[in-house]
């Protein structure tokens, strides 16, 4: 379970103080698929960084399964990111001179998984995100944007994290692949009890999540959505 308590993040810009995240509080049960929508610059990515322990809040706290991130030293935050978090960045942030499979293997290498095991899992994950097998060993800079997006998603799934934070995960994908990724994320949250929080402009994706939040000028409000059960009944 994730509890976000009065989270505030401010930045100085000259004489002005900007608050991209302003007193945000919410809770997510384990296995929830949630989305955050909002205009560009509304603080969505900043909020994801705070939840993923990439950044520290100005005030407030994020509590994951009863453990406060605010009081965690840097070394434990690294462990938390490695073990419990899967990131899908908007710009993919893959290592350009490594192959697709090597990129997916990286988080598993940092976790100490044996080489053969991580190679096998990386291959399976790349198949799950529908990357052609002949492109598994191709360097990242020789893959299209959509292919890189799929590799980034596979990398986020590598260590079977409890929480996946995805920034526009379907932004660079065609409709059919996007649908597949939405289905994959939905399956993960449902069958593997993985909490998934996606930042998206994709209405189709937002409509398929269990909970939908809107971030406006740093403040978070929840919008009503159809549940997955309702959506299944009404089509």
Of the candidates 1, 70, 110, 228, which one interacts with another protein according to CB under 8 A?
Answer: 110
Residue in the structure block whose two tokens are 């930045």 = 11
Nearest approach in angstroms of CB 56 to another protein is 8
Residue 153 binds to another protein (criterion: CB under 8 A)? no
Nearest approach in angstroms of CB 87 to another protein is 6
Calpha distance 57→64 (Å, rounded) = 15
Residue 114 binds to another protein (criterion: CB under 8 A)? no
Q: Where are the alpha helices (H) located in the chain, listed in sequence order? A: 44-51, 74-84, 100-110, 115-128, 145-157, 175-191, 203-207, 228-234
Site mask for another protein (CB under 8 A), range 189-208, x = bound: --------------------
| Closest to 110 in 3D by CA, of 86, 92, 126, 89 | 86
Stretch that binds another protein, among 32-40, 82-90, 142-150, 184-192 (CB under 8 A): 82-90
- Six-digit token pair at 224? 């009503």
CB atoms near residue 183 (< 10 Å): 11
For another protein, the closer of residues 7 and 85 by Cβ is: 85
Stretch that binds another protein, among 32-40, 59-67, 86-94, 204-212 (CB under 8 A): 86-94
Number of residues that bind another protein (CB under 8 A): 31
Alpha-carbon dihedral 39, 94, 132, 145, rounded to 10 degrees:
40
Instruction: Report 159-178 residues binding another protein (CB under 8 A).
Output: 159
Residue 1 binds to another protein (criterion: CB under 8 A)? no
Residue 57 binds to another protein (criterion: CB under 8 A)? no
For another protein, the closer of residues 151 and 225 by Cβ is: 151
For another protein, the closer of residues 94 and 225 by Cβ is: 94
Alpha-carbon dihedral 215, 27, 88, 33, rounded to 10 degrees:
-100
For the chain, the residue count is 235
Residue 72 binds to another protein (criterion: CB under 8 A)? no
Residue 44 binds to another protein (criterion: CB under 8 A)? no
CB atoms near residue 179 (< 10 Å): 15
- Measured CA angle at 178 (ends 232, 87), to 5 deg: 105
- Residues near another protein, by CB under 8 A: 45, 49, 52, 54-55, 75, 78-79, 81-83, 85, 87, 89-91, 93-95, 97-98, 102, 105-107, 109-111, 115, 155, 159
């Amino acid at each position: 379970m994730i509890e976000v308590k009065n989270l505030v993040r401010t930045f100085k810009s000259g004489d002005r103080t900007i608050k991209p995240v302003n007193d945000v509080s919410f809770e997510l049960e384990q296995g929830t698929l949630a989305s955050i929508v909002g205009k560009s610059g509304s603080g969505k990515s900043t909020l994801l960084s705070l939840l993923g322990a990439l950044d520290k809040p100005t005030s407030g706290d994020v509590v994951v399964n009863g453990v406060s991130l605010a009081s965690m030293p840097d070394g434990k935050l690294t462990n938390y990111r490695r073990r419990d978090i899967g990131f899908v960045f908007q710009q993919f942030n893959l290592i350009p001179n490594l192959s697709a499979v090597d990129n997916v293997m990286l988080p598993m290498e940092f976790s100490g998984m044996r080489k053969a095991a991580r190679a096998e899992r990386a291959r399976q994950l790349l198949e799950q995100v529908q990357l052609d097998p002949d492109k598994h060993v191709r360097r990242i800079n020789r893959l299209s944007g959509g292919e890189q997006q799929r590799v980034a998603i596979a990398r986020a799934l590598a260590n079977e994290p409890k929480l996946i934070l995805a920034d526009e995960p379907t932004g660079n994908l065609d409709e059919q692949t996007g649908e597949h990724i939405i289905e994959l994320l939905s399956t993960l949250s449902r069958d593997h009890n993985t909490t998934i929080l996606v930042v998206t402009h994709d209405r189709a994706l937002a409509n398929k999540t269990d909970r939908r939040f809107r971030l406006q000028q740093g403040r978070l409000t929840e919008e009503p959505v159809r549940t997955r059960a309702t959506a299944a009944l009404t089509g």
